Chain A
């Protein structure tokens, strides 16, 4: 089992650009959550996708959007990048048929905005 995988590992963008981050959930999971972790801070919840729809959203602007595909993989899109968007973006998967519903985290994508 490969666990949760994310791509790319690192990304450098400039202010105003747009970025797309990708996540493949752990085998058997159908729910994907995205978190932003700024340097020295804990992860902050962005949103969660289930059955290809956004089920819950945190306190992030509309510049942050997402998508979930029929195979349960997910994308996080950020438009009009700001310097403050520099962070580690974490994807977590959960759900499926297992009784214990832990959120498993991927290694993250480190985004640097210059």
Chain B
């Protein structure tokens, strides 16, 4: 299995506080993604990165920012957490556009369960 770890695994935070989730990979993969999973919505893309310092928005990016200063780390920050951001967050990686397009898809981390109270 690809080396991808997410931290923390669980977090409870208060409304209005900033929160940063970390995704760390040891596979040297170029592409990294942040998804959130919610009942009735499946997995929705928040932000993605196609290289160091190269990031772009996904479908549900409002209220989130990302940074990728090293190949191995992709950080997701909730600027000011709201209850609607209570969710399970998954990081994913993929090796190359060709392998991704070749149907290999992504490798996902184990997720971070975030509760905003």
A and B interact:
no
Interface residues of B (CB under 8 A from A): none
